[in-house]
Amino acid sequence: MTVTLQPVLAQLNSVILGKEPSVRLAVTCLLAQGHLLIEDLPGVGKTTLSHAIAQTLGLSYQRIQFTSDLLPADILGVAVFDRQQGGFQFQPGPIFAQLILADEINRATPKAQSALLEAMEERQVTTEGKTRPLPEPFFVIATQNPSHQIGTYPLPESQLDRFLMRISLGFPSPEAERELLRGMDRRVMLQQLPAQLSADELKTAQQAARAVHVSNALLDYLQALLRQSRQSEFFSLGLSPRAGLGLLHAAQAWAWLDGRDHVLPEDVQSVFPAIAGHRLMVADAGKMSAQPAGWILEQTPIP
């Protein structure tokens, strides 16, 4: 079975205008079986993007709005007493869906955040002494406001590391914005979006991406990037082995989207900023340019 994701990309780009690179990264993240964090200002299309992805891929979709009074039970579900049955009945929470949009994740308290992040890592939920698996595939898109805004609980490093990628959308270009203003209402459009892929096809695509060939030369380069991040004096925290593994899988997915059976250093470079950006802790912000990931890419020669 050969699967192509071109129709998926085309449909997403018709909804999110002028954001091809971000859309492509989001799809890559999904293919690499990682979770996605979108950090941006309100109203640039974060929710629209995640909703469009769910619709296009034909995934069951739940949205959780994170607020400061959100409790873990609001995410995971609660046991409710059933009179007819005469016992407690588990009411699954919104987490039991294939694609979760966790909106404004950094507005909730750490307690609620960790309930979600546990589920992301384990791909199962344990409540009231019983473990329940989450559906397959399971994909979380979290959005957060830039952390300097009022009323936020920034995610700690350990939890940021669970997101494979962090992307931002940014304001659209004037042409894209004009088209948006002239075009159809996005809410209506989203409801009309046909599914372009079945769950099986998605699984096949994910497996195919994992099988893309990685040469030793490429691993040399990848390790050189990791080493650079760990040895540089500018970062108090280098990239973890988990980040390295994610980088590899994402580069494979990127190459697969390109229709290649092998990974090139360019693939690594394309996904690197999205993967490294939220994991690198800049030790001395004064000395570092705004783009630490870009700096590492420039400083690391390709062997």
Binding site for another protein (CB under 8 A): 213, 215, 217-218, 261-266, 269, 297-303
Closest distance of CB 235 from another protein, Å? 17
Closest distance of CB 107 from another protein, Å? 37
C-alpha distances in angstroms, 64 versus 206, 259, 292? 26, 35, 32
Counting beta carbons within 10 angstroms of the beta carbon of residue 27, is it exposed (0 to 12), middle (13 to 18) or buried (19 or more)? buried
Closest distance of CB 61 from another protein, Å? 37
Q: Give the CB-side neighbour count of residue 97, counting CA atoms within 13 A.
A: 22
Q: Which is nearer to another protein, 56 or 269 (CB)?
A: 269
Closest distance of CB 267 from another protein, Å? 8
Q: Which of 141, 142, 146 is nearest to 41 (CA)?
A: 146
Closest distance of CB 73 from another protein, Å? 40
Q: Which is nearer to another protein, 232 or 300 (CB)?
A: 300
Q: Which of 208, 198, 211, 203 is nearest to 7 (CA)?
A: 198
Closest distance of CB 225 from another protein, Å? 9
Q: Are 49 and 97 in contact (CB under 8 A)?
A: no
Distance from C-alpha of 126 to C-alpha of 136, rounded to nearest angstrom? 17
Closest distance of CB 217 from another protein, Å? 5
Q: Are 90 and 51 in contact (CB under 8 A)?
A: no
Q: Which of 87, 88, 70, 69 is nearest to 79 (CA)?
A: 88
Q: Which is nearer to another protein, 25 or 70 (CB)?
A: 25
Q: Where are the beta strands (DSSP E) in the chain?
A: 35-39, 61-65, 77-82, 87-92, 99-103, 124-127, 130-133, 139-144, 163-167, 235-237, 281-282
* Strand duo 35-39 + 139-144: pairing: parallel
Question: Which residue bears the tokens 């980040």?
Answer: 243
Q: Which is nearer to another protein, 101 or 214 (CB)?
A: 214
Q: Which is nearer to another protein, 199 or 302 (CB)?
A: 302
Q: Which is nearer to another protein, 6 or 299 (CB)?
A: 299
Q: Which is nearer to another protein, 129 or 301 (CB)?
A: 301
Q: Which is nearer to another protein, 108 or 275 (CB)?
A: 275
Closest distance of CB 53 from another protein, Å? 28
Distance from C-alpha of 293 to C-alpha of 106, rounded to nearest angstrom? 23
3-state secondary structure 253-273: HHHHHCCCCECCHHHHHHHHH
